[in-house]
Each structure stands twice: as C-alpha cells, then as structure tokens.
Amino acid sequence: MIHGAGHYESTSEWSLQREDETRHICATCGERVFIQYSFTKIPSLLAFEFANKVLHINFLIDLGPQNEHHRMRLAGVIYYGQQHFTAQVILSDGQIWFYDGIETGRNLIYNGSIIPNPPNMTYCRGKQAIAAIYISI
C-alpha cells in the first residue's frame, strides 16, 4: 500500500482506511483522485510504503472488509538514510534482528525484543523507516 496525501498517525490507523486522497487531479472531471482499497481475499503479506512520512509503526494491525477484521503482525521494517538501506526483522517470538549488508554482511545482529515494551520502530541507527511489512497471523 502506498501512502497518498492522507495523514495517518500510525500503520494501524492506515490499515483501517478504505480510501486515500492523492495529490492528483482527474484530467476528465477536474476532481481530486482517490485510491480505493478493497480485498476479495485477505493477503498473507502486506507492505506499507510511506517514504517521507513519519508515523508510528504498530506491531499488530487489524485488516479486513468492514466489520470482519483479520490480525496481522509486523515482520520487518526497511529504513533509508545516507544513500543506504537497512532493515529490522521481527520474529514471531518478538525478537528483533538488525540487517545491514555493508556493516553485517550475511549476518543479522540481535537488536532486542518487542516484549515486554515495544521500542519505537520509526528510526533505527540514524535512518528513517520507509516501509513496514506485515504477515497474517
């Protein structure tokens, strides 16, 4: 899902929206263009791309058509800064592992846990989150 012109405080708030305003104007009618989201089947993986936006990254989100909610958990966050990407991977038991191909090579470095107090995942080692990846639970 790509962030439009709407403003969301968190990935949880964003996941419950069904349309998002864009900055584009329709060439035919002159009205603002909206992105409408609907799922015929709940996806097993969902990525939120929010480059240049800062929002709270929730560990659990609800996703589903209207009153039928489906829970998803955070599986990874991608960061960007200083012309370089890094990532954090979150395992099902709550462990957080840091990855930087330049700094760590093939290895991941243990970076804590979401249990009992989830850390702020918006920034990591001087880089800002640009995407969050959720998986179905």
Q: What is the mean pLDDT of each run of 10 residues along the chain (137 residues)?
A: 67 72 85 78 87 87 70 95 94 96 91 91 94 94
Question: What is the count of structural domains for the chain?
Answer: 1
- pTM of the prediction? 0.82
Q: Look up residue 64 and give its amino acid.
A: G
Residue 58 burial (CB count, 10 A): 21
Domain range for residue 60? 11-136
Task: Sort 11 into a burial class: Cβ within 10 Å, 0-12 / 13-18 / 19+.
Answer: buried
Give the span between the Cα atoms of 20 and 22, in whole angstroms: 6
Instruction: Kindly state whether residue 4 falls inside one of the protein's structural domains.
Output: no
- The answer as to whether 75 is a domain residue is yes
Structural domain includes residue 92: yes
Classify residue 5: in a domain, yes or no: no
Distance, CA of 137 to CA of 49 (rounded, Å): 21
